[in-house]
Structure 1
Amino acid sequence: MNNHYPVVIIGGGQAGLAMSWHLTQKHIRHIVLERHQLAWAWRHQRWDNFCLVTPNWQCRLPGFPYDGSDPNGFMLRDDIVAYIERYARSFNAPLREGVTVEQVTQRGEGFQLRTSAGEFLADRVVVAVGNYHRPRFPEIAAQLPKHIAQVHSADYKSSRQLPEGEVLVVGSAQSGAQIAEDLHLDGRRVHLCVGSAPRVSRFYRGKDVVEWLEQMGHYRLTVDNHPLGEDARRKTNHYVTGRDGGRDIDLRAFALQGMQLYGRLLGYREGQLLTADDLQHNLDGADATSQKIKDSIDAWIAEQGIDAPAEARYQPLWQPEPGAKPIDLRNISAIIWAVGFHTDFSWIDAPAFNANGYPRHTRGVSVHPGLYFLGLPWLWTWGSGRFEGVGEDAEWLAKHIAHHAARAEPAENEYVNDAR
């Protein structure tokens, strides 16, 4: 087998496939190497009731917009996987599954890739593996009693995998808030450590908030023009849900229904978890962000002269008692750690990263010639790591590659499965 390609794409998710589609249109021979299987993260790192938080109509993979019957709905996990599978088949993506890329190094003007399937050579390499690489556990996890089951959010499937008893969720960003809701709706008694994650309303003044923001051009804002600049890449996602047709996640409402809320987790001592006295501050901050988004929509409606129904301002449904309160672990049978991931590009041997190991790039074009990144949050716009905008980023990189490639050999795509 000739394992020398003008372009090797690492990662078989929506980013890698979007890149493959654009290279296919330009007749640039390439291959997509996927460590596990197509759309693996969607298959295995999402819970049973997972669904998108963005409407289906925002699924705009290049050459393959959403093809279902519910554009204003929110695809469930298995529907997302099926959508990606149909996309790969639509252009016969040259995908090889079950191939782990162990190291990428410079070789001449190109690259050598050491993989579980042998050596590959490439003139260009596109790294499309996102930045959620290794589940993060805080140091405190190792100190906790052995009887407590500890599960990272990436491995959570449903309440049925957990022992009977009360469940603590640590982290209130998008995954943590939705998992807390999932457990709560399943009848579990839930404790939630609430951080500084913002929230957003699902619907406002007659439309999904996403539709308003789309009209306002919010999703076309680039990282260069964002008020936070590159710091936007470190922002926590707003919590909201597409479950049951979409709704707000209001933690205050959950508290009224019996969910126990706490501030940030600080430490462990003598059978108790210590928390910060910042629950009120964090809830108020999340509400303030939601209201700020609504205010911007109000201004847009007024500016455009749009006839939209009025809506009263949000009034907090519940207020916490002042002071920090500890979490007694005697009744806690399981902890879900929704505290994020470590980013790990250590397998790429190239001077392409900053002191924190994050890629140095401009719109996905690395500072190291011939190396590209795709699918990272805010690589260029809000949609860069999502179905909505990853295709535009892939198109940009494909143009760059076509302009600089040493050779671009036309070839028929073939699907090869090495996962068996």
Structure 2
Amino acid sequence: MTRNSIDTPVKTPVHAEPRHLPVIVVGGGQAGLSVSYYLKQAGIEHLVLEKHTLTHTWRTQRWDAFCLVTPNWQCALPGHPYRGDDPHGFMRKDEIIAYLDGFIQSVAAPVLEHTAVLSVRPRPQGGYLVTTSRGVFSADQVVVASGGYHTPIVPRMAERLPASIRQIQSADYRNPQDLPDGAVLVVGSGQSGAQIAEDLHLAGRKVVLAVGEAPRCARFYRGRDVVDWLADMKYYDLPVTEHPLREGVRDNTNHYVTGRDGGRDIDLRKFATEGMQLYGVLEDYRDGQLHFAPNLRQSLDDADATYNRINASIDKFIAERGIEAPPASIYTPVWTPESERTTLDPRAAGISTIIWSIGFRPDFSWLEVPVFNGRGYPGHERGVTAHAGLYFLGLPWLHTWGSGRFSGIARDAEYLAGLIAAYGPDAALAA
């Protein structure tokens, strides 16, 4: 694998001017590499700074059986579309890494790996000062492409749980065999939590799942992958400014579904009929008991309502265009909780492991530019902030549904690269 990597440590002598670049890109994942692709095409000098190694997260924060939940044809990184023989399949972890390795090689980005960005702040004369673990740089423009999933969320109640229970975050889960014998409590039923619960369930482990408010969708409906239908319906081209929720859609939890074994629904009710124990949202641990909200029935009903609503929108599309397709259907529950169980003694239940799968918080504490709202999320319009020459790329719903995915990052990166080229260093210094 060829990388245009700069390995010599950068040391800025006292009183020396920092090394200057027209553009610095923070983050060497698919977002940073995508904008590098277009900057290279435009002949714009730049440098990608990566705290670890390129596409590090894909290699280190995915479980062994991980696979894409969107079909392979949606892998459309710039200049590097999916070229395999299974466009409607779902790449597994090793195939995803091979795909990314090919992208890294094709882009050949100028990159400094193992370089942590410690601060980015405006310079009085214009542009930005970028302090890193390997020296100080200045830049006319900065693209923040480090994603929005930085700090795993673990509630403070975790501190009070028995020391005998092993606790890990979803990013650290690898496979059922790595966990101690005993039951496993998975907290959170978003995309990762639901798939990890399934992975454990298929391995024959006793699973207790604290179900959240995540919606779900069908894998296949009326003869096609739901993703194919939604693509034809132009859902993936819908900008956030035209979405009914507007910017509120950025707070939505992803629908749970899987591409495992060729793709299928994840039906938590079916798992319950097979022995998985379902509870509502985990709220607390006290007096030796786990305490859950009495909202399991509502969460399951709401998830199914979303499932049926998406399918109904496909029905309408088919009817309006006179498309020949298998008949419509409505999901009906295969299991309903008889009552809401609100407490559980983890020792009596034999729980040996808790997997926290309740998401991540963004951490942009190193970015010393006032562009954030009260929840630490950057204010921007299609990645462009109110501060001249500062951009974000790769965030969920930055512009469309695919902004944080392989499917839509190219469009966003090309757009920002065009603005960067039009802006120019002279304009930056005059700002």
**Common fold by TM > 0.5:** yes
Equivalence for 1:403: 422
Answer yes or no: is the 8 Å Cα contact 2:279–2:340 preserved in 1.
Answer: no
For the pair 1:382 / 2:401, whether they are aligned, the reply is yes
For the pair 1:115 / 2:132, whether they are aligned, the reply is yes
1:14-66: CA deviation from partner (whole Å, max 9, x where unpaired) = 11111001111111011111110111110111111111100000011111111
Equivalence for 1:262: 279
Equivalence for 1:412: none
Taking structure 2 as the reference length, the TM-score comes to 0.93
For the pair 1:31 / 2:50, whether they are aligned, the reply is no
Supply the distance in 2 between the matched residues of 1:55 and 1:359 (Cα, whole angstroms).
30
Equivalence for 1:371: 390
For the pair 1:90 / 2:106, whether they are aligned, the reply is yes
Amino acid at match of 1:85: D
- Bigger RCO (CA 8 Å, 6+ sep): 1
Q: 1:207 aligns with which of 212, 224, 249?
A: 224
Supply the distance in 2 between the matched residues of 1:78 and 1:127 (Cα, whole angstroms).
27
Supply the distance in 2 between the matched residues of 1:76 and 1:216 (Cα, whole angstroms).
27
Answer yes or no: is the 8 Å Cα contact 2:19–2:137 preserved in 1.
Answer: yes
**How far 1:131 sits from its partner (Å)?**
0.6
1:282-301 to 2 correspondences below 5 Å: 282-301=299-318
Equivalence for 1:103: 119
> Alignment RMSD, CA only?
1.2
**How far 1:92 sits from its partner (Å)?**
1.6
For the pair 1:178 / 2:214, whether they are aligned, the reply is no
Instruction: Give the secondary structure class of the aligned counterpart of 2:271.
Output: helix
Supply the distance in 2 between the matched residues of 1:30 and 1:231 (Cα, whole angstroms).
33
Equivalence for 1:22: 38
Equivalence for 2:372: 353
Equivalence for 1:8: 24
Q: 1:128 aligns with which of 145, 156, 162?
A: 145
Supply the distance in 1 between the matched residues of 2:411 and 2:98 (Cα, whole angstroms).
22
Supply the distance in 2 between the matched residues of 1:311 and 1:353 (Cα, whole angstroms).
45
Equivalence for 1:342: 361
Amino acid at match of 2:19: N
Instruction: Give the secondary structure class of the aligned counterpart of 1:141.
Output: helix
Amino acid at match of 2:223: G
Amino acid at match of 1:52: L
**How far 1:228 sits from its partner (Å)?**
0.5
**How far 1:352 sits from its partner (Å)?**
1.3
Q: 1:219 aligns with which of 236, 242, 250?
A: 236
**How far 1:3 sits from its partner (Å)?**
3.1
Answer yes or no: is the 8 Å Cα contact 1:6–1:407 preserved in 2.
Answer: no
Instruction: Give the secondary structure class of the aligned counterpart of 2:278.
Output: strand
**How far 1:337 sits from its partner (Å)?**
0.2
Aligned identity (percent) is 58
Instruction: Give the secondary structure class of the aligned counterpart of 1:105.
Output: strand
Supply the distance in 2 between the matched residues of 1:325 and 1:404 (Cα, whole angstroms).
57
Instruction: Give the secondary structure class of the aligned counterpart of 1:365.
Output: coil
Instruction: Give the secondary structure class of the aligned counterpart of 1:312.
Output: coil
Supply the distance in 2 between the matched residues of 1:348 and 1:325 (Cα, whole angstroms).
42
Answer yes or no: is the 8 Å Cα contact 2:33–2:107 preserved in 1.
Answer: no
Equivalence for 1:238: 255
What count of residue pairs does the alignment treat as equivalent?
408
Q: 2:96 aligns with which of 80, 83, 96?
A: 80
Instruction: Give the secondary structure class of the aligned counterpart of 1:392.
Output: helix
Supply the distance in 2 between the matched residues of 1:241 and 1:58 (Cα, whole angstroms).
15
**How far 1:370 sits from its partner (Å)?**
0.9
Judge which range, 249-258 or 1-10, deviates more. 1-10
**How far 1:342 sits from its partner (Å)?**
1.4
Q: 1:71 aligns with which of 87, 90, 105?
A: 87
Supply the distance in 2 between the matched residues of 1:7 and 1:147 (Cα, whole angstroms).
50
Supply the distance in 2 between the matched residues of 1:216 and 1:386 (Cα, whole angstroms).
19
1:285-332: CA deviation from partner (whole Å, max 9, x where unpaired) = 000000000000000000111000114321211111123331221110
Instruction: Give the secondary structure class of the aligned counterpart of 2:330.
Output: coil
List structure 1 segments (4+ residues) > 3 angstroms apart after TM superposition: none
Supply the distance in 2 between the matched residues of 1:349 and 1:88 (Cα, whole angstroms).
30
Amino acid at match of 1:74: F
1:229-252: CA deviation from partner (whole Å, max 9, x where unpaired) = 110000000000000100000000
1:135-160: CA deviation from partner (whole Å, max 9, x where unpaired) = 11011111100000000011111112
Gapped regions of structure 2 (runs ≥ 5): 1-9, 11-17
Answer yes or no: is the 8 Å Cα contact 2:297–2:340 preserved in 1.
Answer: no
Answer yes or no: is the 8 Å Cα contact 2:25–2:49 preserved in 1.
Answer: yes
**How far 1:95 sits from its partner (Å)?**
2.0
Equivalence for 1:166: 183
Supply the distance in 1 between the matched residues of 2:312 and 2:205 (Cα, whole angstroms).
36
Q: 1:309 aligns with which of 317, 323, 326?
A: 326
**How far 1:407 sits from its partner (Å)?**
6.2
Equivalence for 1:61: 77
Answer yes or no: is the 8 Å Cα contact 1:278–1:324 preserved in 2.
Answer: no
**How far 1:355 sits from its partner (Å)?**
2.0
Amino acid at match of 1:312: S
Supply the distance in 2 between the matched residues of 1:324 and 1:91 (Cα, whole angstroms).
53
Answer yes or no: is the 8 Å Cα contact 1:382–1:389 preserved in 2.
Answer: yes
Taking structure 1 as the reference length, the TM-score comes to 0.95
**How far 1:270 sits from its partner (Å)?**
2.1
For the pair 1:44 / 2:60, whether they are aligned, the reply is yes
Gapped regions of structure 1 (runs ≥ 5): 409-420
Answer yes or no: is the 8 Å Cα contact 2:36–2:107 preserved in 1.
Answer: no
Supply the distance in 2 between the matched residues of 1:5 and 1:50 (Cα, whole angstroms).
38
1:114-144: CA deviation from partner (whole Å, max 9, x where unpaired) = 1111111111100001110111101111110
Supply the distance in 2 between the matched residues of 1:36 and 1:3 (Cα, whole angstroms).
21
Answer yes or no: is the 8 Å Cα contact 1:38–1:85 preserved in 2.
Answer: no
Amino acid at match of 1:278: N
